[in-house]
Chains A and B, each alone.
Chain A
Amino acid sequence: MNHDALRRLKSTIVVWLCGLSVVVALIPLAFILFFVVSQGIQALNWDFFTKLPAPVGEPGGGFANAIVGTLMLVGIGAAFAVPVGVISGVYIAEFPATKLATMARFAADALNGVPSIVVGVFVYGIAVMPFKQFSAIAGGISLGVMMIPIVTRTTEELLKLVPPALREGALALGATRGWATLTVVLPAAAPGIITGVVLALARIAGETAPLLFTAFNNRFFSADPTQPISSLTVQVFTYAISPYEDWHRQAWAGALVLVSLVLFCSVLARVATRRLERLQTGH
């Protein structure tokens, strides 16, 4: 075999190996989705959504309190993470050359990389220890802290994509910089930012580690933000490591609900992004 043929052979092999690596990565994805759906669907019934957990060892019961808990925790988190994220994103995009913008951008990236369990330890220190009480508020704070950097960076990137002509138009009409941003630039970027927020919500709804010792868990129904509260993820964890067959079954159902939520949001975001692209390019 001559030298050139060898080079071509090498090239072909590498091309195939690259294609193969995509397949290798998609195998676990297919496996996970298959098991979550096939195992989860068996345990998913009306009781799962409407009943409280059954006493230890008794079959039956559901995740009603955990579903309400997750909604509440995500709500509390989003209530402060969305404003903080959007407004800090506006600052970074509007004044990118300032020292504060560089620091905030760096901080957002750093926060994004902080392990979620560490966020839990931090919030334990500021919101659990002083009150000697696990609470939904503490859980919501840790989810919010996880959410801030995602919203900040999404807002920044989307604002940068708004054509400068829009802002210049507003400025030419006599608007101040803040007024132009609020009434012209932000609305133009709003659909994209909302998409980013939806994705961020889906992501924090799937977090477990930061809730373990902030929101803790609660076997009963609770809507009191100062009390420990259950969540889908922590409930799945508790059930998964329990010795009971019936609880394992329900853990799969919980996982199915979580994965459906994530899939639904991802697809929604993808569709919205494509529509946005079409709008922007005018096709």
Chain B
Amino acid sequence: MRGWLKRGDLGFKLGTGAFAALVVLVVAGIGFELWRQSALSLEKFGLGFWLGDVWDPVSGEFGARPFIWGTLYSSVLALAVATPIALGIAIFLSELCPARLRMPLTFLTELLAAIPSIVYGLWGIFVLVPAVRQFELWLPASLKTLPIFSGPPVGVGMLSAVLILAVMIIPFTSSVAREVLKAVPNAQREAAYALGATKWEAIRAALFYARTGIIGSIILGFGRALGETMAVTMVIGNNPQITLSLFKPQYTMPAVLANEFTEAADNLYLSALIEIGLVLFVITLIVNTASRLLIWSMNRPARAPRAVRVTQVAAPAGGAA
């Protein structure tokens, strides 16, 4: 090892490069493998797979539209709930929070991302779903005639899934948005204050400066919501139907994989499920790439606070504005 490393830079570059190439290969491998394994279903159903809305493995009918619907509907609603809260957190922690509270509050909000999905699901089944059922029973009958509130008050269903998803994606959006805001030069805020801006007006100037990164952070949350499996599987009710109702049980792409994969008795069924996985892979890849590009385009400096300290040590005289 020693001799090999000492022989020169080329060996080092090639040796470590092989592992870097391996990481690239894994991602390519996932795409290729999913495509290969779903060939049967791709060939047999073509585009019809995504247009059909009957999912009946027993009779060999596979229409995946309800899963697409459930995934998109739950993710978009969760995004609508989570985004204002996540941005509020990011603004509070980066712009308003007293210095002493910043560390513990950041730690606590990011703890939301560390709790395993299965724990969210368990809590969802035994605490959130009964609470949602109470809410559904309490809701006045006049409101229940609206399409979004139609359906039996069973607790499991879209509403429970949206709430739990929203809580789960908040920390992702808020932590990226916070870093993006941290990268906004102070001159932006100072200029606003110098013109007589109120606190909110100065924050708005910073938000405007950081807008691409903020949008990136929101899209990142969307990507998380699309792929979330366990918690959603446990509370959404797992019933493939296309409906606007928040109370009716529905189904998502990750959930159908989690529930039916080990039950897939024949090759076509398995292949159809893997095709759902393939599409989920492609969608999340596109969404995450879009989000990364937006965040990167913010052109932020080395981001960890440690980096800042290091430069401070190197140049104790200069405090960059």
| Per-residue B-contact encoding for A1-32, CB less than 8 Å = 1, 0 else | 00000011011001101111110111011011
Note all chain B residues with C-beta closer than 8 A to A94.
Answer: 12-13, 16
The CA of A8 and the CA of B200, in the complex, are separated in Å by 8
Of the A-B pairs whose beta carbons lie under 8 Å apart in the complex, a sample of 5, sorted by A's number, is: A35-B127, A129-B37, A178-B11, A240-B125, A282-B313
Note all chain A residues with C-beta closer than 8 A to B302.
Answer: 160-161
B310 and A212 form a contact (CB under 8 A): no
A280 and B306 form a contact (CB under 8 A): yes
The CA of A32 and the CA of B120, in the complex, are separated in Å by 8
Interface: B146 (CB within 8 A)? no
Note all chain A residues with C-beta closer than 8 A to B261.
Answer: 120-121, 124, 212-213
A104 and B114 form a contact (CB under 8 A): no
The CA of A118 and the CA of B313, in the complex, are separated in Å by 45
A31 and B127 form a contact (CB under 8 A): yes
A148 and B23 form a contact (CB under 8 A): yes
A118 and B116 form a contact (CB under 8 A): no
The CA of A236 and the CA of B57, in the complex, are separated in Å by 28
- Chain A residues numbered 25-76 whose CB sits less than 8 Å from any CB in chain B: 25-26, 28-29, 31-32, 35-36, 39
B27 and A241 form a contact (CB under 8 A): no
The CA of A115 and the CA of B229, in the complex, are separated in Å by 8
The CA of A125 and the CA of B149, in the complex, are separated in Å by 41
Note all chain B residues with C-beta closer than 8 A to A209.
Answer: 117, 229-230, 254, 258
Note all chain A residues with C-beta closer than 8 A to B8.
Answer: 176
Main secondary structure of the interface of A (DSSP, over half): helix
Nearest opposing residue in chain A for B5, CB measure = A178
CB distance from B232 to the nearest CB of A (A): 10
- 7 closest A-B pairs by beta carbon, nearest first, are A115-B227, A21-B88, A178-B12, A206-B116, A113-B288, A11-B198, A11-B200
A212 and B24 form a contact (CB under 8 A): no
B30 and A114 form a contact (CB under 8 A): yes
Interface: A229 (CB within 8 A)? no
Interface: A201 (CB within 8 A)? no
CB distance from B18 to the nearest CB of A (A): 8
B9 and A18 form a contact (CB under 8 A): no
Note all chain B residues with C-beta closer than 8 A to A25.
Answer: 85-86, 89, 109, 112, 167, 170-171, 174
Q: List 6 extra interface pairs beyond A118-B257, A237-B230, A258-B118, CB under 8 A.
A: A19-B92, A111-B27, A145-B26, A178-B11, A212-B261, A258-B116
| Per-residue A-contact encoding for B286-321, CB less than 8 Å = 1, 0 else | 011100100000000010111101101110000000
Q: How large is the interface on A (under 10, 10 to 19, 20 to 34, 35 or more residues)?
A: 35 or more
Note all chain A residues with C-beta closer than 8 A to B201.
Answer: 7, 11
Interface: A149 (CB within 8 A)? yes
Which residue of A32, A112, A129, A277 contacts B115 across the interface (Cβ within 8 Å)? A32
B30 and A118 form a contact (CB under 8 A): yes
Main secondary structure of the interface of B (DSSP, over half): helix
Interface: B111 (CB within 8 A)? yes
Interface: B199 (CB within 8 A)? yes
The CA of A10 and the CA of B204, in the complex, are separated in Å by 12
- Chain A residues numbered 267-283 whose CB sits less than 8 Å from any CB in chain B: 270, 273, 276-277, 280-282
Interface: B105 (CB within 8 A)? yes
Note all chain A residues with C-beta closer than 8 A to B304.
Answer: 157, 161
- Chain B residues numbered 8-47 whose CB sits less than 8 Å from any CB in chain A: 8-9, 11-13, 15-17, 19-24, 26-30, 33-34, 36-37
B116 and A122 form a contact (CB under 8 A): no
The CA of A259 and the CA of B117, in the complex, are separated in Å by 11
Q: With A36-B119, A115-B254 in contact, is A148–B26 under 8 Å at CB?
A: yes
Interface: A107 (CB within 8 A)? yes
Interface: A223 (CB within 8 A)? no
A22 and B118 form a contact (CB under 8 A): no
Interface: A78 (CB within 8 A)? no
Which residue of A8, A22, A28, A208 contacts B230 across the interface (Cβ within 8 Å)? A208
B105 and A255 form a contact (CB under 8 A): no
Note all chain B residues with C-beta closer than 8 A to A35.
Answer: 123, 126-127
Note all chain A residues with C-beta closer than 8 A to B229.
Answer: 115-117, 208-209
A18 and B277 form a contact (CB under 8 A): no
Interface: B223 (CB within 8 A)? yes
The CA of A125 and the CA of B29, in the complex, are separated in Å by 11
The CA of A203 and the CA of B171, in the complex, are separated in Å by 15
Interface: B285 (CB within 8 A)? yes
| Per-residue B-contact encoding for A240-269, CB less than 8 Å = 1, 0 else | 110000001001100100110011001000
A270 and B107 form a contact (CB under 8 A): yes
A206 and B117 form a contact (CB under 8 A): yes
Note all chain B residues with C-beta closer than 8 A to A255.
Answer: 118-119, 122-123
Note all chain B residues with C-beta closer than 8 A to A237.
Answer: 118, 121, 230, 234
Nearest opposing residue in chain A for B228, CB measure = A115
A95 and B13 form a contact (CB under 8 A): yes
Interface: B210 (CB within 8 A)? no
Which residue of B9, B114, B307, B313 contacts A177 across the interface (Cβ within 8 Å)? B9
The CA of A10 and the CA of B200, in the complex, are separated in Å by 8
The CA of A53 and the CA of B167, in the complex, are separated in Å by 32
Note all chain A residues with C-beta closer than 8 A to B33.
Answer: 122, 125-126
Note all chain A residues with C-beta closer than 8 A to B126.
Answer: 35, 39, 240, 248
- Chain A residues numbered 189-235 whose CB sits less than 8 Å from any CB in chain B: 202-203, 206-209, 212-213, 216, 233
